[in-house]
């Protein structure tokens, strides 16, 4: 397996966990949350400050511990959930629709600006670095086999998260979240505490975002304000939408299409004749082409196939005794 393929698959697995977390919030609870990328960033930042050791001047950041990576990842997830809880407590109380989206957009920009400007927190614009091959020493991997190890780890974790989501999707909890998406008043009229239920879904989603962020930090070995931007969440939304909002198989498919195919295929764009100067700007132009395609796909799917390629599947009851009455009715 080439190093290239390894990186694509590792990124895909991490991206998949991000998308599954977003699916809880948007696919099931039905809220268009723009703060989501903030939880990924918190997961990544926290993992770093908990593993890379004390800051050496002129660097400056909080904690600076050297915890084992798995412990750091758990704390990172809890932190992301705590921040998610605070944002959720504020934004989910009375707000729905675009007002919810606007407040979460505000929340994520506050996170972004504070992380990027307030140096004592995560070293501001410089960001954090130095998490090299976590757990590699423990298992005694060399560089090459570590790449395989981390790919395997990411895939296994993706599968575990997928199984967890599969379990929740069919449970009463998952169904209750969907009743919120479908009609909140009816959900309340039939006994659902919509605020609490939405909060639970939101914090679960934020935790998955933080978890993906912890993996992302290990993969990148660094994190800083130029490594993320709040609007990156559009890529995740396009994946969930294209695959099938609410359907975890669809989300996995969407990740494959938007996260892997679109992202990677733009690397192989032909050198367009007549665009001489553009081709020299290659990396930047490629990224922009990718962005434009993703935005366009998002708009087109919203308009023409909002249920996605694999629409959410509903339980089909095949009780035979009822089939008889149904036929005679």
Partner 1 sequence: MHEALLTLGFGIVTASILALSAVAFTLEYAVTNVANVSHGEILTVGAYAAYLVHQRTGSAIAAAIAAAIAGGLVALAMHSAVIGPFIRFGASPTVVFIATLGVSFVLQNVLVIFFGAANVAYTLDPGAPQHIGPFLLTPLDIEIVVSAIAITAALFLIISRTKFGKALRAVSQNRELARVTGINATRVAGATFFLAGLVAGYAGFILAESVGSFNPYFGFGFFLITLTAAVAGGLGKAFGTLVGAVMVGLILEFAGGYISASYNLAIAFAILAVVILVRPRGLFTNARRTVFE
Partner 2 sequence: MSATATTPALEVRGLTKHFGGVYAVDGCSFEAPLGQVTGVIGPNGAGKSTAIDLISGFKLPDKGTVLFKGRAIEGLSPHHISRLGLIRTFQSPREWPGLTVLENVVMARWDAGREGFLRGVVGLGRAQRERSADELTKAREILDEFGLAALRNERAGNLSGGQKRLVEFARIRMAQPQLVILDEPMGGVNPVLGERMAVAIEGFIASGTSVIVVEHNLPFIERVTEHVIVMAQGTVIAEGPFETLRSNQDVVDAYLGEMVKQ
Interface residues with partner 2 (CB under 8 A) are 164, 167-168, 171-176, 178-179, 181-183, 185-194, 197, 200, 204, 312, 314-317, 319, 322, 325-327, 329
Q: Which of 9, 14, 10, 6 is nearest to 44 (CA)?
A: 14
Confirm if 51 and 222 have CB atoms less than 8 A apart: no
Contact predicate 170/30, CB 8 Å: no
Q: What tokens were used for 235? A: 């890529």
Q: For residues 29 and 47, which CB has a smaller minimum distance to partner 2 in the complex?
A: 29
CB-based contacts of 221, cutoff 8 Å, min separation 6:
129, 130, 131, 132, 133
**Residue 193 contacts which entry, partner 1, partner 2, none (Cβ below 5-8 A, type-dependent):** partner 2
Q: Which is nearer to partner 2, 163 or 231 (CB)?
A: 163
Minimum CB distance to partner 1 smaller for 13 or for 35: 35
- CB under 5 to 8 A by kind: which of partner 1, partner 2, none does 97 bind? partner 1
Residue 94 CB, shortest distance to partner 2, in Å, is 13
User: Of 167 and 267, which has the nearer Cβ to partner 2?
Assistant: 167
Residue 274's Cα: distance from chain center in Å? 38
Q: At what angle do helices 69-94 and 97-117 cross, to 10 degrees?
A: 140
Rounded to the nearest 5 percent, the helix, strand and coil shares of the chain are 75, 0, 25
Least distance between partner 1 and beta carbon 296 (Å): 5
CA–CA gap between residue 48 and residue 60 (Å, rounded): 13
Find which of partner 1, partner 2, none residue 115 binds, CB within 5 to 8 Å per kind.
Answer: none
Smallest gap from Cβ 211 to partner 2, in A, equals 15
**Smallest distance, partner 1 to C-beta of residue 141, A:** 38
Residue 159 contact, options partner 1, partner 2, none, Cβ 5-8 Å cut-off depending on partner type: none
Q: Which residue has the tokens 């890529």?
A: 235
Shortest gap between Cβ of 291 and partner 1 (angstroms)? 4
Residue with smaller CB distance to partner 1, 13 or 255: 255
- Cα 315 to Cα 71: distance, rounded to the nearest angstrom: 39
**Residue 291 site contact among partner 2, partner 1, none (CB < 5 to 8 Å, cut-off depends on kind):** partner 1
Note the residues at the interface with partner 1 (CB under 8 A). 32, 90, 93-99, 101-103, 105-107, 109-110, 112-114, 116-117, 184-185, 188, 194, 229, 231, 234, 237-238, 278, 281, 284-285, 287-292, 294-296, 298-299, 302-303, 306
CA neighbor of 223 nearest in space, from 80, 79, 52, 48: 48
Helices 143-170 and 172-182: angle between axes, nearest 10 degrees: 70
Least Cβ distance, residue 301 to partner 1 (angstroms): 9
Q: Evaluate the omega torsion of the peptide bond into residue 64 and state whether it is cis, within 30 degrees of 0.
A: no
């Amino acid at each position: 397996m080439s190093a290239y393929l390894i990186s694509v698959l590792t990124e895909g697995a991490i991206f998949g966990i991000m998308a599954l977390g977003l699916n809880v919030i948007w696919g099931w609870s039905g809220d268009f949350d723009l703060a989501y990328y903030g939880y990924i960033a918190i997961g990544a930042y926290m993992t770093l400050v908990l593993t890379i050791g004390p800051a050496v001047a002129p660097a400056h950041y909080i904690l600076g511990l050297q915890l084992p990576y798995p412990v750091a990842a758990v704390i990172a997830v809890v932190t992301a959930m705590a921040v998610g809880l605070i944002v959720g407590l504020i934004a989910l109380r009375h707000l729905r629709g675009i007002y919810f989206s606007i407040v979460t957009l505000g929340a994520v920009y506050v996170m972004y600006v504070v992380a990027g400007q307030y140096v004592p927190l995560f070293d501001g614009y410089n960001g954090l670095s130095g998490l090299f091959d976590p757990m590699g020493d423990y298992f005694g991997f060399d560089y090459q086999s570590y790449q395989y190890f981390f790919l395997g780890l990411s895939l296994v974790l993706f599968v575990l998260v997928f199984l967890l989501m599969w379990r929740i999707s069919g449970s009463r909890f998952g169904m209750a979240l969907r009743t919120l998406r479908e009609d909140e008043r009816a959900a309340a009229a039939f006994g659902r505490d919509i605020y609490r239920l939405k909060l639970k879904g939101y914090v679960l989603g934020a935790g998955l975002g933080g978890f993906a962020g912890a993996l992302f930090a290990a993969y990148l070995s660094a994190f800083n304000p130029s490594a993320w931007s709040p609007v990156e969440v559009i890529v995740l939304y396009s994946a969930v939408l294209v695959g099938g909002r609410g359907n975890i198989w669809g989300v996995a498919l969407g990740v494959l299409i938007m996260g892997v195919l679109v992202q990677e295929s733009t690397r192989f764009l032909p050198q367009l004749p007549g665009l001489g100067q553009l081709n020299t700007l290659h990396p930047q132009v490629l990224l922009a082409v990718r962005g434009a395609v993703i935005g366009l796909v998002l708009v087109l799917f919203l308009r023409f196939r909002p249920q996605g390629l694999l629409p959410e599947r509903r339980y089909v009851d095949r009780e035979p005794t009822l089939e008889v009455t149904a036929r005679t009715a």
